Amino acid sequence: MVKENSVRKVALVTGGARRIGEAVCRALARSGYSIALHYGTSGAAAEQTAGRISKDGGVCATFACDLVDGHATGDLVPAVLEEFGRLDVLVNNASIFEKSSLESGSLESWDRHFAVNFKAPYILMRSFARCAKEGNIINILDTHIVRNKTANAAYLLSKKTLAELTKMAAVEFAPRVRVNAVAPGLILPPVSQKSGYLERLAKQIPLQRRGNVENIAHAVLFLLENDYVTGQVIFEDGGEHLHG
Ligand SMILES: NC(=O)c1ccc[n+]([C@@H]2O[C@H](COP(=O)([O-])OP(=O)(O)OC[C@H]3O[C@@H](n4cnc5c(N)ncnc54)[C@H](OP(=O)(O)O)[C@@H]3O)[C@@H](O)[C@H]2O)c1
């Protein structure tokens, strides 16, 4: 239990145990935020990340929640408020990514994608807007939202929908809450892919190299610091979206 605070700002990051989410948590902690680190199944990694943040002088508490479960997701913001007494930033980073074309995908896979990648962020955004006097929401999208490739149709459409929600929420939640997004490109390969996969793809994009998790964390901090920006998407993708 952390039970301190109301002095430091608090950031809730979903899927914060590993990979991009971990980098965002650690960067926010270095910037002085207390971290509410949400995780699904990666309990051990979540505790490890929380431990690293504490070792660096930061504050971090972990929160387990299956984002497929809308009721449990609705309890997440209240649990963070109970722990820290305030909430200033929400980063919707957690996501699933399964292969499914328009013709071949199972309806169960569509339900899972929309539950985790769209409905859960919406539930959290709504809770955040209801409880926060002011603050920031940042949704993590994907550079492919500007394209219409259907190899990952359910994933892509869930992210396109979240991009639209980002703009609508930026209007409705203003002026108290700014709502922005980061659209990563070639950052980390899916867990199932071998190394070299992203390097091969990177040859085809304008900057001809992959990015890294720190690029995404940097974009999140940029959006938090620039208080005249709302409804914006930063494409952190080496120019890949330009090939749209
Ligand atoms: N990797 C890239 O290069 C890339 C490119 C474009 C866009 N993005 C976007 O950037 C974000 C982070 O990417 P990533 O590759 O780091 O993500 P990831 O490893 O695929 O997933 C992030 C986390 O989402 C959580 N999650 C998934 N289903 C969940 C559920 N039902 N309940 C609770 N948590 C759940 C998992 O938490 P647990 O492990 O705790 O279960 C997982 O660690 C995602 O939104 C992704 O779409 C990434």
Looking at the DSSP assignment, which residues form a beta bridge with residue 236? 184
Rounded to the nearest angstrom, the distance between the alpha carbon of 22 and the centre of ligand 1 is: 10
Edge to edge, the sheet with strand 135-140 lists 60-64, 34-39, 10-13, 89-92, 135-140, 177-184, 233-236
Centre a 10 Å sphere on the Cβ of residue 241 and count the other Cβ atoms it contains: 20
Please give the Cα distance from 92 to 9 (Å, whole number): 17
Domain boundaries, the chain: 10-237
Please give the Cα distance from 112 to 4 (Å, whole number): 36
Please give the CATH number for the structural domain made up of 10-237: 3.40.50.720
Among protein residues, the one whose CA lies closest to atom 42 of ligand 1: 15
Looking at the DSSP assignment, which residues form a beta bridge with residue 45? none
Among protein residues, the one whose CA lies closest to atom 43 of ligand 1: 15
pLDDT digits (tens, 9 = 90+) for 75-96: 999 999 999 999 999 999 999 9
SS3 174: coil
* Residue to substitute in 14, 41, 212, 236 for testing ligand 1 pocket (most ligand atoms within 8 angstroms of CB): 41
Q: Which residues in 15-59 belong to E strands, given as ranges?
A: 34-39
Rounded to the nearest angstrom, the distance between the alpha carbon of 123 and the centre of ligand 1 is: 17
Residue 85 near residue 8, CB atoms below 8 Å: no
What string of pLDDT tens digits covers the 244 residues of the chain? 555 556 899 999 999 999 999 999 999 999 999 999 999 999 999 999 999 999 999 999 999 999 999 999 999 999 999 999 999 999 999 999 999 899 998 999 999 999 999 999 999 999 999 999 899 999 999 999 999 999 999 999 999 999 999 999 999 999 999 999 999 999 999 888 887 899 999 999 999 999 999 999 999 999 999 999 999 999 999 999 998 6
Task: Say yes or no: CB of residue 58 within 6 Å of ligand 1.
Answer: no
Taking alpha carbons only, the member of 120, 124, 18, 127 closest to residue 68 is 120
pLDDT digits (tens, 9 = 90+) for 200-218: 999 999 999 999 999 999 9
155 phi and psi, to 5 degrees? -60, -50
Rounded to the nearest angstrom, the distance between the alpha carbon of 140 and the centre of ligand 1 is: 9
Residue 67 near residue 14, CB atoms below 8 Å: yes
> The whole model's pTM is what?
0.97
Q: How many residues comprise the chain?
A: 244
Task: Say yes or no: CB of residue 97 within 6 Å of ligand 1.
Answer: yes
